[in-house]
Amino acid sequence: MTANKPNQDLSPMKCPHQLDDVDLFSEGAPEFWYEAYDILHRQAPVHRIPGEGFEPGTDAFILCKHEDIAMVVRDQERFPLPGAMAVQHLKGMGGDPFEGPQVNMMVAAMTILRPNPEMWRSHRQELTDPWVGPGAPRNEEMAVRVANELIDKWIGRGSVEFISEFAQPLPQMVMANVLGWPIEDLKLLKYYGDGTDKPSVYGSGHRNILPQEEIDTQFEVLREFREYTENLIKEKRANPADDMITFLTEVEYSPIKRKLTDNEINGIVYAMVIGGLETTQYALSEQVQLLIEREGVWDEIKADRSKVRAFTEDSMRLRSPTQGLSTRITSQDEVFQGVKVPKGSFLHLRWAAANIDPDEWDDPNELKLDRKAGTRHLVFSQGARVCPGATLSRVEQMAAWNTLLDRVESFSYADVNTFLHQPGIMLGTLELNLNVVPA
Ligand code: HEM
């Protein structure tokens, strides 16, 4: 973080100076993540969290090296997903994963529709790619229109709260349009999105665990979300439109040679909502800060629009929206960087640290617009399980910045910013008051 920002002074945590001080998960930790990564890279790129493993008696390990994480995410057999294992287990016992107590619709649908690597590929290619993957550029014009509508609301005012008036509503409105979610129910989309995301913001520890009463309230919201989406699916079946939900009601999924059930569609909608809203918000809100702080970059990309893409990529590398996820376990004993990691351990993949790994990147803390193979970062993960919405997010970011560069002469910080971040595992600035000079 930039030294003169007040967020670090306001944090209940102190800046880490040695390995013993490093704590990525307690209150205030986001204000010092990048200081902690420097220490982890130097002293413990495989960092043990005692007693936090997947199986009893095992530990969790934070992985920070680009080479380790890139290897892990490419091998689904050796490093399976804990959520998928739970659903497989329920299925093996003869249960209906959609009807289990407090079942996660996304994990249930995704596991049923892609139990093996071939079906994983088909799922992506046939169900999500046409809308949020390689087919996402079809949304470009709509994303530019959304960006313009949002800018219209504040451009004449000379100031903007960038999160609530741009970075947050843009991906919400784009996702609503992609899905065919009624735009008048945008507030509900946010409400349900907050419900799906709750553990990653308010959960504690590397596994984002909520207290039981919070889980109960979360599942109440998710139950409402499920009911709302069921009605929406019925409505789309009755009145088809040119949107993703209608498409999902009509498509025949080749590995099972049938159309999708309402539950399966519901799970995919859940996945789009949990993945597709806040992540891009965080990318946009870090990008505007980099543009204000790193001298010359705004003018450079304004003058040469072919550099906007490199800017979005390297800024996501430098300030990864999803900082880390504990989404893999070890199915056999492993060794990373000389550290033994036994079978049954949790792996916390710290994408953000890998993205500034000095063994992978020259000048890792610099924003560069001319990096060779700049997209080898792990912002969206890699391999078969790479984020299915990466292309849509890139389309949104390009639309946002090209439109802002057209319509804004310059941004600067207003006097009233704390630069504090939300808790959890995402890099989310809470509020960002900016002065705006219109173009
Ligand atoms: C800057 C924006 C985004 C970032 C940083 C991001 C990051 C990630 C990461 C790190 C993963 C985990 C992959 C793994 O475990 O190996 C993931 C998964 C996922 N993302 Fe994204 N994502 C973004 C935008 C989106 C968008 C726009 C959508 C939807 C349109 C989306 C939908 C998903 C889904 C559904 C998954 C779960 C994939 C699966 O289980 O196969 N994401 N994302």
Tell me the per-residue pLDDT of 8-30, one tens digit each, with 9 for 90 and over: 999 999 999 999 999 999 999 99
pLDDT at 1: 47
Q: How many residues does the chain have?
A: 439
Residue 93 has pLDDT above 80, yes or no: no
pLDDT at 432: 98
Domains in the chain: how many in total? 1
- 110 part of a folded domain: yes
Tell me the per-residue pLDDT of 312-362, one tens digit each, with 9 for 90 and over: 999 999 999 999 999 999 999 999 999 999 999 999 999 999 999 999 999
Least confident stretch, 40-44, 67-71, 89-93, 399-403: 89-93
- 2 part of a folded domain: no
- 1 part of a folded domain: no
- 358 part of a folded domain: yes
C-alpha distances out from residue 75 to 122, 360, 385, Å: 18, 20, 10
pLDDT band at 219 (very low <50, low <70, confident <90, very high): confident
- 103 part of a folded domain: yes
pTM of the entire structure? 0.95
CA of residue 271 to ligand 1 center, whole Å: 9
- 128 part of a folded domain: yes
4 or 247, greater pLDDT = 247
- 191 part of a folded domain: yes
Domain residue limits at 93 = 7-438
Ligand 1 atom closest to the CA of 282, numbered from 1: 1
Q: Whose CA is nearest to atom 27 of ligand 1?
A: 276
Residue 66 has pLDDT above 70, yes or no: yes
| Mean pLDDT in residue range 136-143 | 96
- Tell me the average pLDDT of the chain: 93
**Checking phi first, is residue 30 left (phi over 0); if not, alpha (psi -120 to 50) or beta?**
alpha
* Burial degree of 136 (CB within 10 A; 0-12, 13-18, 19+): buried
Phi, psi angles (nearest 5°) of residue 160: -155, 140
User: Domain containing 324 — which CATH number?
Assistant: 1.10.630.10
Residue 91 has pLDDT above 80, yes or no: no
Tell me the per-residue pLDDT of 354-392, one tens digit each, with 9 for 90 and over: 999 999 999 999 999 999 999 999 999 999 889 999 999
pLDDT at 94: 65
| Ligand 1 pocket, CB under 6 A | 73, 110, 132, 271-272, 275-276, 279-280, 283, 321-322, 325, 327, 351, 379-381, 385, 387-389, 392-393
- Residue percentage of the chain with pLDDT more than 70: 94
CA of residue 435 to ligand 1 center, whole Å: 32
Beta bridge partners of 339: 336
> What is the Cα–Cα distance from 163 to 433, expressed in whole angstroms?
8
pLDDT at 368: 98
| Mean pLDDT in residue range 136-162 | 97
pLDDT band at 202 (very low <50, low <70, confident <90, very high): confident
CA of residue 33 to ligand 1 center, whole Å: 21
- 170 part of a folded domain: yes
* Helix, strand, coil percentages in the chain from 3-state DSSP, rounded to 5: 55, 10, 35
Q: Which two tokens stand for residue 347?
A: 């792996």
| Mean pLDDT in residue range 41-59 | 95
> What is the Cα–Cα distance from 194 to 222, expressed in whole angstroms?
10
> What is the Cα–Cα distance from 392 to 252, expressed in whole angstroms?
23
| Mean pLDDT in residue range 26-35 | 97
CB 136 within 8 A of CB 380: no
Pocket residue to mutate for ligand 1, from 124, 200, 268, 279, most atoms within 8 A of Cβ: 279
Tell me the per-residue pLDDT of 258-297, one tens digit each, with 9 for 90 and over: 999 999 999 999 999 999 999 999 999 999 999 999 999 9
Could you tell me which residues come within 8 angstroms of residue 34 by beta carbon, excluding any fewer than 6 positions away? 1, 352, 356, 365
pLDDT at 214: 87
